Amino acid sequence: MGRINYQSIKKKSEVRVLNYNVHHFAAAYDSYHKIDLNSLAAVILRDEVDIVTLQEVDVHTMRSGQYLNQVKVLAEKTEMFYAFGKTIDYEGGDYGIAILSKFPIVEQHFYKLPFVDNKEEQRGLLVCKIDLGEAQMINIGTTHLSSSNEQSRLLQTKRIAELQRESAFDFLTGDLNAEINSKPVEQLKTTFDLDSRFMNQMTIPAYKSDKKIDFMIRSINSTIKIIRQDTYQMNALSDHNLMISDITL
């Protein structure tokens, strides 16, 4: 993993998608709790990212700033459209997942996912239909599954597979909190292609990464092709690695 620099190989026909569990834009071990939106905004602009999917974002929370809508501000910094899916109330504000796009978002749907323990956080799936122009559309979903309960993750991946069959979205990203050989990830294989080229790309922890729990995968029925995909460490931001995929429709 190193400096992100895809500019020399991205083709005009390709769409660049970035996925990141941003840990509310604060380094995992930062005792000062510095919120840094600028670093990710700079990467998005420099590396010509077209679509961004995020997990663990804050909107008007005490810890990040009651006047700060992280999704809106990042969208303003990168001149993108955006959608937010609230999963829980948090410290006077909202917490959840988001999708940003340089192309218009023409539809957005947020689905609550099931869980078994009432003490768990609500989880969700955000799906956006994005107009790429020239009569091309992409339906992309992002999610963040249960961090504490395997049975909940199984219920959640089952529901995501059902929703994919119902709404036929093309591409799924997110933090599944499950590794490649786990039952929840195995269950997704009924509707998604877990491309073996990319399954050894570790995503946590950000330093000395040794596990993959974040994924960017295409529907088995989609015409999308993943041309390249990789993970990158962002210095002093989040406890996950950032992921980038270049895709064609």
Rounded to 5 degrees, what are φ and ψ at 18? -115, 130
d(CA 174, CA 182): 16
3-state SS class at 161: helix
Report domain extents, the chain.
16-248
Looking at the chain, the whole-number percentage of residues with pLDDT higher than 90 is 76
Query: What confidence tens digit (pLDDT) does each residue in 148-198 have?
Result: 999 999 999 999 999 999 988 999 999 999 999 999 999 999 999 999 999
Specify burial of residue 77 (Cβ count, 10 A radius: 0-12, 13-18, 19+).
middle
Report pLDDT for 5.
55
- Average pLDDT taken over every residue of the chain: 92
Location of structure tokens 């919120």: 35
Fold classified for 16-248: Deoxyribonuclease I; Chain A (3.60.10)
pTM: 0.94
Residue 247 near residue 171, CB atoms below 8 Å = yes
